[in-house]
Amino acid sequence: MNLKTLILCGLAIGSVSVVRAQLVFEPDRHDFGTIREVDGRVTCTFTGVNRGARPIVVLDVVTSCGCTVPKFSRKPVHAGDSIRIAVTYDPQNRPGAFSKELSVYSSDRKKVATLTIGGTVVPRPKSIEELYPVDAGEGVRLSTSHSSFSYLRVGREVHAAVEYVNTSNRPVEFRLRPKETSGCLRITAPERIAAGERGTIDLAYSIPATNPRYGTMKDTFEVEVAGRSNGTVLMAHGIAVDDPAAYRDKPAPKMRLSDNILKFGEVNHDTPIERRTFVLANDGEGELVVRAVEHRGHIETSLRAGQRIAPHDSLTVEVSIRPSQADYGPLLDRLSIITNDPARPMRQLRVTALLLAP
């Protein structure tokens, strides 16, 4: 590299550094340290100096979440002058350590600086109503009325807990009356809850490997306290699928859909039946087995549980609607396909149509 090239490179590097250093914040980080949630919002101020030769206007300061709010002026900052950016952080319902970035943009829409705030929030004591938001009646409260298990692996048992408290000054009888049962959920709950008692209701799903079931498992229970119900329902659900561990030492299938949305478009309501197709493919090395096919009842499909697709093969699936049996207007459904794909056992196909008058 000759002397002329070195000089030109040096000038280029120098010019870039000047542009980048036009608006400089020192420091560009602020640590609030330990703050208490009960004390509310905290604010700090960053000061930036224009070290360039031309005026600069701060157009926007973009934050990573709504808990951080900047306040600043959009007046031009002349060479040598400074700008203050006040940053307010709201710790409400945000216990623990936090770190937030703020990006400062100039009027030419270029990012000119990054500011960072951080600290640790000491949570405020929560009320009984916050800890147990579900009022089951007679002083009994629950931490939740809905327990989602996501995937339920065949041959494994999984647990979840619902917390309860009796806020009354007397013991009460407690009962969970089954309304909808899958036969795969075991629930352990007290029959009597003492005054002031806190505890947990244990929910355990188990899909036996000797008699596997697949697809949606759903259980609902009406909560009765002191022989009465205020309408509170405790629900648990999950999707039963194969255990992926079964494919650790053998070729695995891989499910793929040709479409994510199947659009019927505008359809005359007098049409007896309308059909569309999509392709269900197996991109894996093992045989793909359809375990369950589910939808809301607005569609029909040729796909059935038990169908098999060889490796690197595919199946054309028909989906149909009967417009004359549906209401006018939008028709929406979702076809859920559960297979033995260990990586992604469930895929969903959205089905849409607009049923119009003739």
pLDDT at 4: 45
Query: Which CA distances in Å does 191 have to 131, 227, 233?
Result: 22, 11, 17
The predicted pLDDT at position 3 comes to 42
pLDDT score recorded for residue 64: 81
Q: Which has the higher per-residue pLDDT, 45 or 17?
A: 45
Confidence of residue 6 (pLDDT cuts 50, 70, 90): very low
Cβ atoms of 102 and 62 within 8 Å: the answer is: yes
pLDDT tens-digit map of 252-304? 999 999 999 999 999 999 999 999 999 999 999 999 999 999 999 999 999 99
The pLDDT value recorded for residue 7 is 41
Read off the pLDDT of each residue in 209-222 and give the average, rounded to a whole number: 96
First and final C-alpha spacing in the chain:
79
pLDDT at 11: 40
167 Cβ contact partners less than 8 Å away, ≥ 6 residues apart: 128, 139, 140, 141, 196
Amino acid making up residue 328: Y
Residue 14 has pLDDT above 90, yes or no: no
**Angle, vertex CA 213, rays to CA 210 and CA 215, nearest 5:** 155
Phi, psi at residue 279, to the nearest 5°? -115, 130
* Nearest alpha carbon to residue 234 among 135, 166, 314, 115: 135
pLDDT, mean of residues 20-30: 86
Structural domains in the chain, sorted by start:
21-122 (2.60.40.10), 128-241 (2.60.40.10), 255-356 (2.60.40.10)
pLDDT recorded at residue 168? 97
pLDDT tier for residue 184 given thresholds of 50, 70 and 90: very high
Of 21 and 316, more confident: 316
pTM value is 0.72
Confidence of residue 107 (pLDDT cuts 50, 70, 90): confident
